[in-house]
Structure 1
Amino acid sequence: MKKLLTLTAIIGLLSSGCRKIEMDGGTTVVTPTTGTENTILEGRITENRTLKAGNTYKLRGLVYVTNGAVLTIEPGTKIVGETGQRGGLIITRNAKISADGTIDKPIVFTSESASPQRGDWAGVVILGNAPVNASFNGVQGVGEIEGGINNSDGLGLYGGTNPADNSGILRYVRIEYAGYAFLPDKEINGLTFGGVGNQTVVDYVQVSYANDDSFEWFGGTVNCKHLISFRTLDDDFDTDNGFSGKVQFGIVLRDSSVADISKSEAFESDNDANGSSLTPQTSAVFSNITALGPKATLANTGNNLFVWGAQIRRNSSISIFNSLIMGWPTGLYIDATKGTPTDNNIPGSLFVQNTIIAGSPTAVLYGASTTSPTGATTASINTWFNTAAYGSSVLTNNSDVGLTAPFNYTAPDFNPAAGSPAAAGGIFTHAKLNGLTNVNYKGACAVGDTWWKNWTKFM
């Protein structure tokens, strides 16, 4: 929105030696002595724009990139959410973000507060035209993203018919202290995807101290690699409304004292809120995930709102391969209590294979509101999980996995030691793993791995 300067404002700027410029989607104040910009981003960005490293950019309220514009963010740039304004960045359908940082110059979205807290600002939302099973105002295949983002112009809608849609690039990016609850179960997360297509690049992204989920996918086909969820409130990887992308190399480290009233877990997955049979069905594939819960040892209690390492429910058909689920009260919960029973998808399309569950008093659990039509029970689901050909195992203690320092909040080390059962044994023969990187280990890291270092922040 263009704004007129008052005479008082002009005099103030002249006396301070600063120059104020009105731009599409915000206002910039330039300090001549340094050449740096302090820019407030607000309203809509309707034309291509570049945010430059060395300047300060502040999100005032929800900022929408629209009209097919590309928002380019240079490596090393810092964007903050204005205190008390619930600032957020919304990449709408047909627009793009090009946030392509580097290992030594990551792009950082964070709070402007000197004493930041989770929920200081809204978060980053990317909306695309890939298929979803949601509906809006009676139109199937289009959804309204959560969090009070949508408006009369439909800028909060997502979904379409193009699985190869391209919403841009997020690479070497950190998102910190984001998220707020617009309404119960209608939150903005650290990073939200709605109908994002598989030509979008998402690689090396850390979400820390989110006030709801770290990552949530509503439909779409986007593939992601090297994701880190650090000390979030609710869920780490939440999948809904037909998400069918693939996620490889992911790290979850929870704060044992902080969990959400809605119950907290590493994976939460629904086909949709009703557990319907609508298509596309949620069928995401996760491989090489290290999901560390609140229980560093069996004696640790942690917040009693922590429940499952992975809850697969409401007719979801996600699959987990080559992963480590460690330190959760229950490792894996197949939940058939609502909608089309989830166990209908076993073993045809829902797979958990070559995965270690460790340090969990209950490794595998099944639940149904009535007798399952498949006759499934906790005993039968345990038998399925432990099928010899699937290569999964249950270890009593987290220490049996042999990671270096996985539960150290300030200086974690997620790498397996030599001789660890996670240091070898990665298997990629399953058809669902086509297109992923074939590695010989389980979990997110190899012995001596460095991908999670230097661009990240753990504190």
Structure 2
Amino acid sequence: MKKFLLASSLLLSCIGTSMAYTTNVIQDSIATDTHWTCDQQYLLKGYVYVTAGHTLTIDSGVIIKGDKITKGALIIERGAKIMAMGTLMHPIVFTSNQAPGNRSYGDWGGVIVCGQAPVNWTAGQAQVEGGPRSFYGGVNPNDNSGVMTYCRIEFGGIAFSPNNEVNGLTFCGVGNATVVNHIQVSYSGDDSYEFFGGTVNTKNMVAFGTWDDDYDTDNGYAGMNQFIVAVRDAGAADQSGSKAFESDSYLSGTVSGLAGDTTKVNRSIFCNATLVGPLNSPAFTGADPNYVAGVHLRRGSAMSVLNSLILGWPCAVLVDESSSSYGSTVANIGNGILQFRNNIIAGTANTSFNKDVVFVKDGARSLTPTTANSDTTATGTDWSVLAGGVNLGPITWFKNPAYKNKSYSTVSGGVQLGNPFNLANPVLVPNSTSPIVYSSVHYPSWATGVNDVFDPTMPLNYDTTSPATYNVPGFAPDFVNSKASNPFFTNVNYVGAFARTGINDNWMNGWCNFDPLNTDYDVTCYTVDPTVGVNDVYSNMGSIKVYPNPAQSQATVSLDIKASSSVKIVILDRTGAVVKEVFNGTSATGTQSYQFSTTDMANGMYVISALVNGKQSITKLSVMN
């Protein structure tokens, strides 16, 4: 049953609505359709279950706190749904119930979503790790567990014991009809995200200050993920070995994957990731010794990494060949199920041998891959499958010209991002001379004899007959190969998670928070400080309004323009995708109105974004045609 406790009224003094509010203590089961509104706060005590057949709806701006003493957690069970639809200006926040300055890793249990999509357990299902009663798994890859957009999850995640852990956000057999984007998990006491099988797809995901792994994939997970970020705190890592990506297919209780059976392999895809490790220079010695690798592929994994940046790790990619009990990781490389292509590695630690890609066997030295042993060389037989019996070895595989990977000795001199190691304000957008967004390539056939500079605002064009058409940066992505060509992936002209075309390239600005330790959450209707990042209201713009709201057939956006400015107004759906451009041009001083039709829009909630000289303000619109 659901229990509520009325707390004393609090007077709000920080970001949010200045009004008294009540705190509802939630425990046990939520067994009816339930709606949480931002005029109240919610405290999770112990395991809180949303039961099958019921939906928990959470409005934008709602603050949910996890109780430290009882390790509160929210579990969405199979057949239930969560509808947590925050917005850029009004994200939903799950955080610790401790006071500012006193929060820490593992203060509460985190969020767990269970679905009925396939997993590779031999029983077809399994119970959630960490103690919850809930089971996950099924036969429906298109299962729908709801929506999570613009949500922050802070100080959750508890490692009770090895392989008995609750993470910041855990997806257990979640299906691909579930919508997940714009999520930040910060200071998780175990992994930020873990995917136990399922098919759920994600975009615009951030892991910040994680204790163990940033993105852990297991049990035949087959989802697609794009615009992925991990930023690490050099002083915090787990004794199990911390990585940005840790990927398995098999373990005790799952199918084995032997005899070449790859039907239930972990074949997830991560595209356009920026994974910032603990080493701000290859010679840095102050990182926690439990840091292991940027990417750890083991136990028969076939996870693919494409168009991504792996920066500042002791070892960039650790290929861990399985024992004879399970299917082969290396065989998946050989048959092309596992791809590592169009990626940049930079700033791996200085040692006596190349650590961009390291090979170990049977888990041996998987925690100490920077110790040179024979299995890091091309002497073993495990790599013979890569070229019809010709042993290539890990570095040769990485440098295969067909795979278009590249490495730099340093992050600053090679990849050139804004300020990736600044934990107070990580800037992962490339600098103007980064090979991600710049090219000085000159082709002799061009009559002008002038180097052509890449235009980041234009799509890729490989036509080398003229500098007027050729438009490729120094290091280009690939969305043509068999993995990246899926329509889920947005075709962009850069590798990593960020472009460089304008002020809004840092899509973390505004809704993300890189100082949750000190944030005052004794507020209601949580809003982003309008003086921060892309949510700056430009000095040339006053209020933004839309009417009628709800809209039927048509609506009008009204903007107060204080000086003649360039204006772009677009409408975004709940996934953050642009569904309509209302206006793009120059507007004169004064109150300007922009009318548009809603007849081609589905009923539901939308966000209207107005950019005035590159600065943004937003408002919400409900369409009820």
TM over 0.5: yes
State the SS of the aligned residue for 2:316.
strand
Does structure 2 conserve the Cα–Cα contact (< 8 Å) formed by 1:81 and 1:110? yes
Task: State the distance in 2 between where 1:42 and 1:426 align.
Answer: 47
State the SS of the aligned residue for 1:375.
helix
The residue aligned with 2:431 is 417
- What RMSD over aligned residues (CA atoms) do the two structures have, in Å? 1.8
Task: State the distance in 2 between where 1:337 and 1:32 align.
Answer: 57
Does structure 2 conserve the Cα–Cα contact (< 8 Å) formed by 1:47 and 1:67? no
- Once the two structures are overlaid, the 10-residue window that deviates more, 419-428 or 326-335, is 419-428
Asked if 1:426 corresponds to 2:477, the answer is yes
State the SS of the aligned residue for 1:134.
coil
Match of 1:235 among 177, 202, 213: 213
Q: Report the alpha carbon displacement of residue 90 of structure 1 after superposing the two structures with TM.
A: 0.1
Does structure 2 conserve the Cα–Cα contact (< 8 Å) formed by 1:337 and 1:367? no
Match of 2:22 among 34, 37, 60: 37
Q: Report the alpha carbon displacement of residue 421 of structure 1 after superposing the two structures with TM.
A: 1.7
Q: Report the alpha carbon displacement of residue 198 of structure 1 after superposing the two structures with TM.
A: 0.3
Does structure 1 conserve the Cα–Cα contact (< 8 Å) formed by 2:127 and 2:135? yes
> 1:133-152 counterparts in 2 under 5 A?
133-135=120-122, 140-150=123-133
Q: TM (normalized to structure 2)?
A: 0.66
Match of 2:492 among 418, 439, 444: 439
Based on CA coordinates, which of the two structures has the bigger radius of gyration?
2
1:365-394 superposed Cα distances (whole Å, 9 cap, x missing partner): 111249544437996221111111211101
- Once the two structures are overlaid, the 10-residue window that deviates more, 448-457 or 419-428, is 419-428
> 1:20-419 counterparts in 2 under 5 A?
25-29=2-6, 36-114=21-99, 115-135=102-122, 140-150=123-133, 156-274=134-252, 276-277=256-257, 279-301=263-285, 302-338=287-323, 339-347=326-334, 348-361=336-349, 362-369=355-362, 371-375=380-384, 380-399=393-412, 400-419=414-433
State the SS of the aligned residue for 2:93.
strand
State the AA in 2 paired with 1:440. N
Ranges in structure 2 where 5+ consecutive residues have no aligned partner? 11-18, 350-354, 363-374, 438-472, 516-625
Task: State the distance in 2 between where 1:455 and 1:235 align.
Answer: 23
State the AA in 1 paired with 2:432. A
Q: TM (normalized to structure 1)?
A: 0.90
State the AA in 2 paired with 1:294. P
State the SS of the aligned residue for 1:43.
strand
- Once the two structures are overlaid, the 10-residue window that deviates more, 174-183 or 250-259, is 174-183
Does structure 1 conserve the Cα–Cα contact (< 8 Å) formed by 2:311 and 2:345? yes
Task: State the distance in 2 between where 1:110 and 1:116 align.
Answer: 9
State the AA in 2 paired with 1:382. I
Task: State the distance in 1 between where 2:113 and 2:4 align.
Answer: 23
- Once the two structures are overlaid, the 10-residue window that deviates more, 367-376 or 392-401, is 367-376
State the SS of the aligned residue for 2:87.
coil
State the AA in 2 paired with 1:349. I
Ranges in structure 1 where 5+ consecutive residues have no aligned partner? 2-24, 151-155
Identify which of structures 1 and 2 has the higher relative contact order when contacts are C-alpha pairs closer than 8 Å and 6+ apart: 2
1:216-265 superposed Cα distances (whole Å, 9 cap, x missing partner): 00000000000000000000010000000001001110000110000000
Task: State the distance in 2 between where 1:175 and 1:32 align.
Answer: 25
Task: State the distance in 2 between where 1:82 and 1:306 align.
Answer: 30
Q: Report the alpha carbon displacement of residue 141 of structure 1 after superposing the two structures with TM.
A: 1.4
Percent of pairs identical after alignment?
A: 43
The change in CA–CA distance for 1:379 and 1:292 in structure 2 (over 3 A counts) is farther
- The count of aligned residue pairs is 427
Match of 1:458 among 501, 514, 517: 514
The change in CA–CA distance for 1:208 and 1:234 in structure 2 (over 3 A counts) is same
